[in-house]
Amino acid sequence: MSILDLKYKAVRSMTWSLAASLSAEDQMVQSCPEASPVKWHQAHTTWFFETFVLRPFLADYKPFREEFHRLFNSYYISLGEEIPEKKLRAFFSRPSLDEVLAFRAHVDREMGRLLERFVDEEASRRIVLGLNHEQQHQELALTDIKHAFFSNPLRPAYEAPSLGSQSSHTILKLGWHSVYGGLIEIGHPVNAESPMSFCFDNETPRHRAYLEPFRIANRLVTCREYLEFISDDGYTRPELWLSDGWETVKLAGCEAPLYWERDSGDETGWRVFTLRGSHGLSALLDTAVCHISFFEADAFARWRGCRLPTEAEWEFVASQKPQIGNLLDMGRLHPAPATGEGVDQLFGDCWEWTASPYAGYPGYKPLPGALGEYNGKFMSAQMVLRGGSCVTPPDHVRATYRNFFPPATRWQFTGIRLAV
């Protein structure tokens, strides 16, 4: 069995494992436009392999259902017309979850047949891309089911409530790491041949960037620190906010991070909903604050007399650190307190907003054909995030990884690191 075959089986099994505790009804829910039903995530990731691998590279492949080619497309316009209701994927009750699982099994069998044969370089490249695509959707599925369960008045928990004891942790005080700056290189290395060297096209080409001297915080901003911002009327002081941010929080009525709820029974006055149910904020004060928009992160930084790091600054620091942290394999499913030395929490816990707008690097070229729609078409009105989160698969992070979302996004596990 090849390394690629083993990797394929491992990633596909992980998707099944993450959805195993969810009922068919759970997997049907789409609680906000940014989210998708877990059933759809399972089908779309399967559609990717059928569309981009099996159809072009397995000559005798027979599609499971021809209608799925359109139904489970996401945004690849060059492959066919959009379904008008695609942003409301819970609109479709059929196919059933059982049929989606049968679709997955069919594609897995056919992928097994393909992998038993000679797989050329292009097919291998697409399979690896598909596996990384599925890992993205594993994270999205957990993010989406969290929002779905929060939207349910019963507030169900995805996993058992315990987040573990924090009493044994030595809380890391906020400190600063000085960087002298100068001419550096960022982006994924050119001509890397190791399987671990996979990257998305938006991480290339590697290029030079100049950094002025700066200082970066040794950890993420905590709930305790963010509560101080709230207590100092941070949400009602327009001088702290970008214009669009001020309009966004006023229109939405934001007064705290997403998933924070007023609770007179907790000494902080707040409770926080997690994938492990609802907990008093007093038990989470020294964990990284998450589900913060770029606008909120920027306002907090201004309030502290700081700023957000650029993505080049972040990558330069992160490239010198091991890619370990509170990721999906830890099983916590929520940010943890920082306890490390040096610059901690660069990988895991929360995706970190940067001050950099999402655009192509100098000389950027998207992939040819429909796969070129994967990243390049979104290089407008988005901000870059770095580092991964507590629900990111551990082999799916690297210093060059560029995530991106609109600046008002809060449903993702997004947090704050300061710079000056």
* Position 138, amino acid: Q
pLDDT of residue 41: 96
Domain count, the chain: 2
143 with 220, same domain: the answer is no
Contact 345, 172 (CB under 8 A): no
Q: Which of 150, 185, 201 is the last residue of a domain?
A: 150
346 with 284, same domain: the answer is yes
89 with 189, same domain: the answer is no
Quick one: which H or E segment has residue 179?
strand 176-179
d(Cα 329, Cα 86) in Å, to the nearest integer?
A: 32
- Whether residue 269 is contained in a domain is answered as yes
Phi/psi of residue 327, nearest 5 degrees: -110, -175
User: 394 exposed, middle or buried (CB, 10 Å; 0-12, 13-18, 19+)?
Assistant: middle
132 with 242, same domain: the answer is no
268 with 367, same domain: the answer is yes
Phi/psi of residue 101, nearest 5 degrees: -65, -35
- Whether residue 171 is contained in a domain is answered as no
Phi/psi of residue 239, nearest 5 degrees: -65, -15
Alpha carbon 165 to its chain centroid, in Å, reads 26
- Whether residue 366 is contained in a domain is answered as yes
Contact 53, 130 (CB under 8 A): yes
Cα–Cα–Cα angle for 287, 302, 407, rounded to 5 degrees: 75
pLDDT of residue 97: 96
Averaged pLDDT, groups of 10, the chain, 420 residues long: 92 97 96 93 96 95 92 76 61 90 98 92 94 97 97 94 64 93 92 66 95 98 98 97 97 97 96 96 96 98 98 97 95 93 94 97 89 85 97 96 97 97
Domain containing 35 equals: 3-150
pLDDT of residue 169: 60
- Whether residue 89 is contained in a domain is answered as yes
Q: Tally the residues of the chain.
A: 420
pLDDT of residue 196: 45
268 with 309, same domain: the answer is yes
- Whether residue 280 is contained in a domain is answered as yes
71 with 213, same domain: the answer is no
- Whether residue 156 is contained in a domain is answered as no
- CATH, residue 241: 3.90.1580.10
Residue 25's SS3 state is: coil
- Whether residue 126 is contained in a domain is answered as yes
184 with 124, same domain: the answer is no
- Whether residue 342 is contained in a domain is answered as yes
306 with 405, same domain: the answer is yes
Cα-based distances in Å from 97 to 66, 69, 137, 140:
17, 17, 17, 18
* 362-393 per-residue burial string, b: 16 or more CB within 10 A, e: under 16: eebebbeeebebbbeeeeeebbbbbbbbbbbb
Closest by CA position to 28, among listed 91, 75, 114, 81? 91
d(Cα 203, Cα 120) in Å, to the nearest integer?
A: 24
d(Cα 218, Cα 346) in Å, to the nearest integer?
A: 9
Residue 97's SS3 state is: helix
234 with 270, same domain: the answer is yes
pLDDT of residue 88: 65
pLDDT of residue 342: 87
103 with 195, same domain: the answer is no
pLDDT of residue 87: 60
348 with 217, same domain: the answer is yes
